[in-house]
Structure 1
Amino acid sequence: MKVEIFDPAMCCSTGVCGPSVDPELTRVASAVYSLEKKGLEIKRYNLTNEPGVFAENSEITRILIEKGPDALPVTLLNSQIKKVGEYPTTEELSEWFGVNPEELKEKPKVKLSIDLKQL
């Protein structure tokens, strides 16, 4: 099982940054994080940072030519188009990978260390 999500142009790899965060992007980032942590094959590509990946995929290129960048996000399941213009739901991801939907809600934890001696 392999899922690839082709994101629109965003400021960072997840889109979960800046002053106002879209809850949909947070949900997708949490699901992807949880699936990756389980060792499952899921990848997200950002048009801003990885345009070559978009150009190398004939299905994605075709969608972009036909519909333009507003067609993004696009989700491929085993190299076949599964969703265009919206992210997969938590339920869809859990069904595709055979996991409980509750397992896909873990948020990535960022560890921050501050050396106060340097301040």
Structure 2
Amino acid sequence: MKKIEVFDPALCCSTGVCGPEVDTALVGFAADVDSLKRSGGNIVRLNLGQDPLAFAENPLVKGLLARSGQSALPVILVEGEIALAGRYPTRSELYLFAGLSEPSATESPKVASKGCCDDSGCC
């Protein structure tokens, strides 16, 4: 199974429902990540605001940020190589990156709401 690393921009929380405005793209991506994990996917999210050292220590991410700035975020690494930058992948892309078959809509696991900040306690 392939390892996926998501280098997120600085976010209050990974769910997209913090603050007065809901980021629907981020809400969808958080659900896609949860779906992939429930299917056995190996995915890790790193937040620039909470894990800046991870960004500085990764030469690919550090170089991309030096060239393109924060507009390059999010950066998606698959097995340590840049697979996507500047936008979140679709659910289909995530499953493709992980080397897993995407479950059909009737098989998709239900995503339980965990509040605005999941388990991170950032709010």
TM-score (normalised: structure 2): 0.79
Note the residue ranges of structure 1 that are not aligned, 5 or more in a row: 112-119
Unaligned runs of 5+ in 2: 116-123
**How far is 1:21 from its partner?**
1.1
- 1:98 maps to what in 2? 101
| Aligned-partner residue type, residue 99 of structure 1 | E
d(CA) in 2 for partners of 1:46, 1:14? 12
Question: Which has the higher relative contact order, 1 or 2, with Cα contacts under 8 A spaced 6 or more apart?
Answer: 2
The answer for the alignment partner of 2:83 in structure 1 is 82
Greater fraction helix? 1
Number of residue equivalences: 111
Distance 2:104 2:49 in 1: 30
Aligned to 1:61: 62
Q: Alpha-carbon deviation of 1:100? A: 1.9
TM-score of the aligned structures, taking structure 1 as reference length:
0.81
Sequence identity percentage: 42
1:49-106: CA deviations, max 9, x gaps? 1101111111000011111111101111111101110011111112233222635673
Please provide the CA RMSD for this pair. Answer: 2.0
Matched to 1:29, the amino acid is A
The 5 Å alignment of 1:10-29 reads 10-29=11-30
